[in-house]
Amino acid sequence: METFRAQVVVVGAGPVGLFAAYILAIQGIEAIVLEKETEGQTDMRASTFHASTLSYLNQIGLASSLIALGLKAPVFQYRIRSNDEILAFDLGELSDILKYPFRLQCEQHKFSKMLANKLFSENSSEIFFDCSVKSVKQTADSVSVYAETPGGSKKFVGDYLIGADGAGSVIRNGLGLKFPGFTYEEKFLTLSTTFDLNETFEDLAFVNYVSDPNDWFVLLKAPSAWRVLVPVEQSLADEEILSDAFTDSVFEAITGLNIPINTNHRTIYQVHQRVVESMHRNRIVLAGDAAHLNNPLGGFGMNGGLHDAWNVSWKLKSIIKDGKNPQELLSLYDRQRRAVMGEFVQSQTIRNKKMIEESGNDKEKSEWTNMRVIHADPNARHEFMFRQCMAKSLMDEKEIK
Ligand SMILES: Cc1cc2nc3c(=O)[nH]c(=O)nc-3n(C[C@H](O)[C@H](O)[C@H](O)COP(=O)(O)OP(=O)(O)OC[C@H]3O[C@@H](n4cnc5c(N)ncnc54)[C@H](O)[C@@H]3O)c2cc1C
């Protein structure tokens, strides 16, 4: 069987796998990336890059190129659908402590493409598309994966392996790791349109979470389109949800306009809240969606995955280049990242989902009641924003030894 070798094998050319491979490549560490698709993803998925992620990108010279591709969104807002009450949070208030006091709205696939192009020009790395990993094995000295390609089966051997192969991770399953948590009953539908939603809403920001017990929605501006996210009943067939009649009814419910509205993308996906039991087994680590899943309210999924990639790639550099103890560092990676993704991100996204399903008029204490108190108090508001841009979680993870 044809066999390829590298210091690190990365499975998955999503944003997380590519980011990890790029950090390794610029340290002169050989990294091979294996991707089952014939090219990088181009559909609409995550579109928010938080200030914390931009600071990391800045440290390796990538921030300004990405910022040039996106839109700066200093303000994110929570709205109540029935009465248009708005709580607007302005990250500009944190400009003394954040280098990038905004969310960057930019399509995930643009970031992945930028990284893939950079990797092509790095001698120490290579991306294999159309290369579907089927199984993984490790010994005391190395890790091997076996992949199907159009040219037949191939074996890839590395000193270490990063499983960044997304929600259905073959690597996670191959290691027999449990992935506890739950799956939401409803499906999520995302639509993107070039129709200008500012025509039908007043005071829209680039990031808007609109609460309603039945018909909540999220409106996000990306450079190429407005993105709309709504929940849809599990019992509806995907074919029906993706029909013009259905998407027009979604836009009519949101905008009040009874006209056909064009869409560039229509994507349905099932949303989970899960964290793997361990992100590390000897010479193998998991990163990104392979290790943790959460709902998209807050934009923590891809950002959290990029933070995993950052954390583990620098640890691999210390192991490979500086001779540091692999088991100590990789188990520290597991503790640090599982703490952040398991505690802050899981609880915050579950609360965000609860809040977006409220009417805002609840008599009892509710997420909205709590958010009004936070919004009114400058210290609480600043602390909240510092958490929402994931800057606090990066500080917290460094405290874990
Ligand atoms: C349909 C969909 C819509 C989404 N929408 C949003 C959204 O609106 N907002 C939001 O915040 N987040 C969204 N997400 C989540 C967000 O896209 C992820 O958090 C992010 O992509 C995680 O990056 P990743 O690199 O870990 O995984 P992925 O982006 O899933 O990348 C994994 C890569 O591994 C490859 N792969 C998988 N198995 C193998 C194998 N056996 N061999 C080789 N390659 C393999 C895949 O083809 C893929 O390219 C969405 C996810 C999906 C699936």
Task: State residue 191's pLDDT score.
Answer: 96
Please identify, by atom number, the ligand 1 atom nearest to the C-alpha of residue 167: 30
Scanning the structure block, which residue is given the tokens 């998991």?
286
The single-letter code of the amino acid at 211 is S
74 lines ligand 1 (CB under 6 A): no
Structure tokens at 121: 């020009």
Query: What is the 87 CA–ligand 1 centroid distance (Å)?
Result: 31
Task: State residue 384's pLDDT score.
Answer: 97
Query: What is the 223 CA–ligand 1 centroid distance (Å)?
Result: 20
Mutating to test ligand 1, I would choose from 289, 308, 348 the residue with most ligand atoms within 8 A of its C-beta, which is 289
What is the pLDDT averaged over residues 168-182?
98
173 lines ligand 1 (CB under 6 A): no
The superfamily in CATH containing domain 2-71+106-180+276-364 is: FAD/NAD(P)-binding domain (3.50.50.60)
pLDDT digits (tens, 9 = 90+) for 343-363: 899 999 999 999 999 998 877
Lowest mean pLDDT among 40-44, 69-73, 109-113, 187-191: 40-44
* pLDDT band, residue 43 (cuts 50/70/90): confident
CA-to-CA dists, residue 300 to 108, 200, 211, 297, 345, angstroms:
13, 28, 19, 8, 7
Bigger pLDDT: 237 vs 258? 237
pLDDT digits (tens, 9 = 90+) for 121-156: 888 899 999 999 999 999 999 999 999 999 999 999
- 146, 133 in Cβ contact below 8 A? yes
Please identify, by atom number, the ligand 1 atom nearest to the C-alpha of residue 229: 8
Alpha carbon nearest to ligand 1 atom 18, residue: 302
Task: State residue 364's pLDDT score.
Answer: 74
> What is the rounded distance in angstroms from the CA atom of residue 390 to the CA atom of residue 375?
18
Strands 48-49 and 31-34: unpaired
Task: State residue 64's pLDDT score.
Answer: 97
305 lines ligand 1 (CB under 6 A): yes
- Nearest in space to 22 (alpha carbons), one of 263, 317, 320: 317
Give the DSSP per-residue string, 289-354: GGTEE--STTS-HHHHHHHHHHHHHHHHHHHHHH---HHHHHHHHHHHHHHIIIIIIHHHHHHHHH
- 228, 264 in Cβ contact below 8 A? no
Please identify, by atom number, the ligand 1 atom nearest to the C-alpha of residue 132: 42
Task: State residue 365's pLDDT score.
Answer: 80
What's the pTM? 0.97
Task: State residue 84's pLDDT score.
Answer: 85
Q: What are phi and psi of 264, to 5 degrees?
A: -90, -35
Lowest mean pLDDT among 13-17, 332-336, 355-359, 364-368: 364-368
Mutating to test ligand 1, I would choose from 136, 165, 209, 279 the residue with most ligand atoms within 8 A of its C-beta, which is 165
What is the pLDDT averaged over residues 333-342?
95
pLDDT of 192 strictly over 80 = yes
Bigger pLDDT: 363 vs 220? 220
Contact residues for 399 (Cβ-Cβ < 8 A; gap 6+) = none
Bigger pLDDT: 122 vs 76? 76
170 lines ligand 1 (CB under 6 A): yes
The rounded mean pLDDT for the chain is 95
